[in-house]
């Protein structure tokens, strides 16, 4: 019995040392989603970045430090000019700067250009990974009263904002942000609980996912959550056809696009109401697959969609029309990005479209003139 107890203690000690080593030396094994443990909080109308948070997020092999201020805004490490006016940038991970250092984000680079042009201005980074237009409107309702910005720039990313607007809800499990269907699937499985809370369990599940998928907790969570999520996406094309928002270019506009545009109109109305004293500008950010027609056509074919049943630039046009109908100035980045000689260098990963430091710099350059004009009014 003594030997059995000793063996058990040795196994527990080995497991504890392995867990500690994975946490200290290897870090999370599930990518930047796992690295964001503890980064989010739930709000009355969605979720936000936790105030005073510190994390390291990795994308495309680039590890970037992330710190937030008391309002949950990503900080760039520089002090605001004295008596600074504020510009508030809102959007998803493109604005947040996933994969970028704090001084490389669109907000940080725009602030440097505005200050260099003689403006005493602070540009606040209100980007949050995973946001859709509804979340952007909710963020404006929270942040505008606290910041009183002179200008609010709301960015719409065509790659997935329409999907992110589909109301699935969010929840936190073990400090990880996930959709409510996924949170429910995790809570229903003891195996998933261990994967969420222990790095060693994450490593083991990674191996199971590769060599014995039927035994993997991730596989089971995916299957359970997908069944519920697919109900929320009833009327949409299959998941494989929703890559980078290309299905939203269908012509004529199918019912799921009409519903998405209705949700967009509601978000724009909330944005306008949340910014009574601020100049509001909406920026249309295409996915990289929507910038050049040959790439767009090939991407459609690659996922089994017929380019003949879609119209190049349809999503941009529909969003511009919705914004103009709401009485808000709009800037579509598509023509300027398409004209860039170094287009591929503007993205960290062409297959998902997050901006590189050069890409964020280019977007900041394109925002400079309209933001200056808004500050002058």
Q: What is the pLDDT of residues 310-368, one digit of tens each?
A: 999 999 999 999 999 999 999 999 999 999 998 989 999 877 789 999 999 999 999 99
The pLDDT of residue 6: 60
**Domains of the chain, earliest start first:** 35-166+244-376 (3.40.50.1110), 174-232 (no CATH)
Of 304, 299, 363, 373, the C-alpha closest to 332 is 363
Whether 32 shows a pLDDT value over 80: the answer reads no
CA–CA separation, 285 and 318 (whole Å):
13
CB 89 within 8 A of CB 364: no
Of 241, 236, 228, 224, the C-alpha closest to 260 is 236
- pTM, two decimals, is 0.90
3-state DSSP percent of the chain in helix, strand and coil, to 5: 55, 15, 30
Whether 34 shows a pLDDT value over 70: the answer reads no
Whether 288 shows a pLDDT value over 80: the answer reads yes
**97-126 burial by CB neighbour count: b if 16+ within 10 A, else e?**
bbbbbbebbbbbbbbbbbbeeebebbbbbb
Distance, CA of 28 to chain centre: 19
CB 149 within 8 A of CB 86: yes
Of 344, 345, 318, the C-alpha closest to 332 is 318
Model confidence at 28, in pLDDT bands (50, 70, 90)? very low
Whether 306 shows a pLDDT value over 50: the answer reads yes
Model confidence at 82, in pLDDT bands (50, 70, 90)? low
Rounded to the nearest integer, the mean pLDDT of the chain is 89
């Amino acid at each position: 019995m003594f030997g059995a107890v000793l063996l058990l203690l040795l196994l527990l000690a080995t497991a504890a040392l392995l867990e500690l080593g994975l946490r200290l030396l290897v870090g999370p094994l599930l990518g930047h989603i796992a690295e964001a443990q503890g980064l989010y909080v739930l709000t009355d109308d969605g979720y936000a970045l936790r105030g005073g948070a510190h994390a390291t997020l990795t994308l495309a092999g680039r590890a970037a430090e992330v710190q937030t201020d008391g309002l949950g805004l990503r900080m760039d490490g520089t002090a605001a000019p004295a008596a600074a006016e504020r510009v508030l940038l809102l959007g998803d991970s493109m604005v947040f700067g996933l994969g970028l250092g704090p001084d490389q984000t669109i907000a940080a680079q725009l602030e440097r250009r505005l200050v260099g042009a003689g403006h005493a201005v602070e540009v606040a980074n209100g980007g949050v990974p995973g946001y859709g237009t509804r979340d952007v409107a909710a963020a404006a309702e929270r942040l505008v009263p606290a910041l009183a910005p002179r200008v609010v720039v709301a960015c719409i990313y065509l790659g997935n904002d329409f999907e992110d607007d589909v109301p699935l809800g969010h929840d936190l499990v073990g400090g990880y942000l996930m959709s409510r269907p996924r949170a429910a699937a995790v809570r229903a499985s003891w195996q998933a609980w261990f994967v969420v809370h222990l790095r060693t369990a994450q490593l083991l599940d990674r191996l199971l996912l590769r060599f014995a998928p039927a035994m993997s907790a991730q596989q089971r969570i995916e299957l359970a959550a997908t069944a519920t999520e697919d109900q929320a996406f009833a009327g949409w094309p299959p998941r494989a056809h929703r890559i980078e928002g290309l299905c939203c270019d269908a012509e004529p506009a199918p019912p799921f696009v009409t519903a998405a545009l209705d949700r967009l109109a509601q978000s724009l109305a909330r944005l306008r109401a949340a910014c009574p004293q601020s100049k509001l500008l909406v920026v249309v950010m295409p996915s990289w697959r929507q910038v050049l027609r040959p790439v767009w056509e090939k991407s459609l074919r690659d996922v089994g969609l017929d380019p003949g049943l879609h119209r190049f630039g349809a999503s941009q046009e529909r969003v511009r029309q919705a914004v103009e109908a709401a009485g808000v100035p709009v800037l579509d980045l598509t023509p300027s990005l398409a004209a860039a000689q170094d287009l591929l260098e503007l993205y960290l990963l062409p297959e998902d479209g997050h901006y590189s430091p050069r890409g964020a710099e280019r977007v900041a350059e394109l925002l400079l003139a309209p933001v200056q004009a808004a500050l002058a009014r």
